[in-house]
Every structure is written in structure tokens, then in C-alpha cells.
Amino acid sequence: MGGIRPAGWDLPRRPTARTNGPGRGAGSAAGGPAEPAGDAARVGPAGPWYTRTVRLRLIQIDAFADRLFEGNPAAVMPLPSWLPEEVLQAVAAENNLSETAFYVADLPPGVAPPPGGEPAYHLRWFTPQVEVDLCGHATLATAGHLFDDVHPDAERLHFWTRSGWLAVARRADGRLELDFPAGRLRPVPADDPTSAAAVAALGIDPQERMVDTDLVYVLRDAAQVRAVVCDFTGLRDLPVRGVVVTAPGDEVGVDFVSRFFGAAAGLFEDPVTGSAHSQIAPYWARRLGRSRLTARQLSARGGTIGCAVDGDRVRLSGGYRRYLDGEVTLPEPPGVVGVRASDEPPAQGRRYLWAGPQ
């Protein structure tokens, strides 16, 4: 999705020359069209140029990570109000991470906050290609930012999402624990065409074939999981979010391992996938006869996920490491309301003063 420019947007630009000669409107570039009048243009030291821009915070956090450069990096972007969907998708494509999480402090109309008065937000997740219904690592990253920057004394946060209410608690050991709905894996026939295409793309001979949000294949051992080489062209058109391969762990303290390859989600291999573990943890809990498990995702970055299965819920826990705090500059979207602009000099453009929940 590189090169996306949402309809109605233009990047700020500065004319290379200026003249007010005959036949040209005031503020026109030499040989070019007249510059727009009013608030859409400003006059600076080098002439008029577009300055209607907004600046938004971006925090990048490695989730399910015990050290920097481990786990899955997610971009977290607080918003004062929702930008147009095509803008959110374009920003996620530009960030080019597995997911970008956007959140606002206002809940949708008709959605009541959870009881207890704990902080609650509206959260959405975008891959570089699509908005997704559930994402573990970007939820953990968002909660890490909010606990660190906004709610240092809170013990629990709540997020309204496309999958309903999700909660994130802070544990005594500093890890965060996500409360997610448990997946319901069901068997897939060996001759199912979608499954057969995925098996061919992965080059595997699975012991079990299952599906929920993702296709899930159980392999004989962790060595087979490590050895998978995926032909992504064989997955990208399949009508599932992604494909998981999993097997018993072969390291001390690791109960099961996995890898995740994107299909409709538009990803190659995801470093650590929390939502996949909400599907496979109940399977391993039944198979191993324990409700508390430790999982390791065997991507190049790797990551460790604690899993606690409790009926129709799965609690996923992990650490996080903050990597980047920055600012994204965007042209101001047409028609967006509720913007708080600064009183900076015109050459500095317009700016959101809102830097997160107050």
C-alpha cells in the first residue's frame, strides 16, 4: 500500500518562486495556479506555502519482550478524535509494522463504560493492509504506554474493540496481563481446499488440522516448527487471517511453541502473535492437562507469552520495552472537527496540543 494518498489530502508544499505579475493572482507561484486564499495558505519568509498540518504522537513499543529488540514492535498513536478510516490505514501502511494501534478517550455512542470507574478507551488495530478484529501485542503495547504515561497508579485498563471489552492488568512482576476471549478450534478435513493450499505453501505434514480465526496445524516437534519455510504467495489469497504452526516445547520451562504466517492480514511472519495464543492455549491446556502454560513464538525476534486458560477466557501475559517516542506530521484532514490548534507562528503550521488523555 505504499504511496497511498487519501482523497482530498495534499502534502504541504512550498512554491519555488513567487510573482504578482499581470494575469496572476496574489500569492501565485510563477507560471502556476493561484494559491488558495484564507486559512489554507500562509505567507512566510520565502513566500506563501501550505501549513495546515497536524502533529500526532507515536510511541513504538516491543511487546511480549523481556529485552529491547525482542517480541513484536507495535506503533501506538493517541488521537483526539477519529481520523477518516482511509487515513488510519495509510498511516499504518507508512508505519509498516505488524500493527498500529489507534485509540481515543471517547467511547462509541451507546457503549457504556465498564463498572468500577477504571480507565476505558476505544481501541482499533490496523495492519499495513487491513483493520483487524483482535490483536494481542498492540493491545499490550497500548496498555504499557497508558500505564507509563497517563495512569501510573492504575491497576487495570479497559478497551472497547471490535471484539468487545478487553481488559489489561498490571502484575506485581511488571508484566501486563491481557484478558481475551478463548478461541474455539474445530477440526478441518484433510481435503479442505483452503487447508490443502496452506499445507502446500508451508511444506508441512501436520498431525492435526484445525481452524478458528486462523488455520492451526499441530506438528510433531519444535524442530519441525523451526524448519518451516513459507511460500507467502500461496497464503496471501486464502480466506483466513493467518496460519499457525505449533508443537510441544523442547526447552526447559516452555510448554509449547508456535509460528504465525499472515494470509488476509497481509503479513509475512509475525514476530509474536498474542491473539493466536488465545486460540491455541486452550488446545494445549487440554492436551497437557494444565491451565497455566508458558509459550514461546519461534520467529527471528522471538517472544515469551504466559497463558492462563479459565473457561471461555484466556489471560496472556508478557513484558514490554519502550523503543521510540516521536511525532508524526500529517496534512490536516478535510472536515475533521474537534481539533485543538496551537497559536504557533504560521511557518510552524497547526499542531494538536492534545498529547494523550488528560
The residue to which cell 496574489 is assigned:
26
pLDDT value, residue 288: 98
Which of 300, 294, 296, 246 has its CA nearest to residue 271? 300
**Residue 135 backbone phi and psi in degrees, to 5:** -150, 125
Chain segment 183-238, per-residue pLDDT in tens: 999 999 989 999 999 999 999 999 999 999 999 999 999 999 999 999 999 998 89
What structural domains does the chain harbor? 54-175 (3.10.310.10), 186-315 (3.10.310.10)
- d(Cα 132, Cα 121) in Å, to the nearest integer? 17
pLDDT value, residue 265: 74
- As a residue count, the chain comes to 358
333 confidence band (pLDDT: 50, 70, 90): low
- d(Cα 61, Cα 81) in Å, to the nearest integer? 22
Chain segment 18-30, per-residue pLDDT in tens: 333 333 333 333 3
Chain segment 103-130, per-residue pLDDT in tens: 999 999 999 999 889 999 999 999 999 9
pTM here is: 0.78
Phi-psi region for residue 243, left (φ > 0), alpha (ψ -120 to 50) or beta? beta
In whole angstroms, how far apart are CA 215 and each of 42, 186, 239, 263? 54, 10, 10, 10
Which residues contact residue 283 at a Cβ distance below 8 angstroms, ignoring those fewer than 6 apart?
185, 210, 216, 218, 246
- d(Cα 128, Cα 266) in Å, to the nearest integer? 7
**Which grid cell is 279?**
486460540
Partners of 327 in the β-ladder: 57
Q: How many CB atoms sit inside 10 A of residue 329's CB?
A: 12
Which residue is catalytic, options 35, 70, 94, 99? Answer: 99
- d(Cα 293, Cα 309) in Å, to the nearest integer? 8
Chain segment 264-308, per-residue pLDDT in tens: 777 889 999 999 999 999 999 999 999 999 999 999 999 999 999
pLDDT value, residue 130: 92
- d(Cα 255, Cα 249) in Å, to the nearest integer? 5
What's the average model confidence in pLDDT over 152-173? 96
- d(Cα 294, Cα 308) in Å, to the nearest integer? 9
Task: Specify the pairing of strand 131-132 against strand 156-161.
Answer: unpaired
Chain segment 56-91, per-residue pLDDT in tens: 999 999 999 999 999 999 999 999 999 999 999 999
| Catalytic-residue membership of 344 | no
Judge whether residue 357 has pLDDT over 70: no
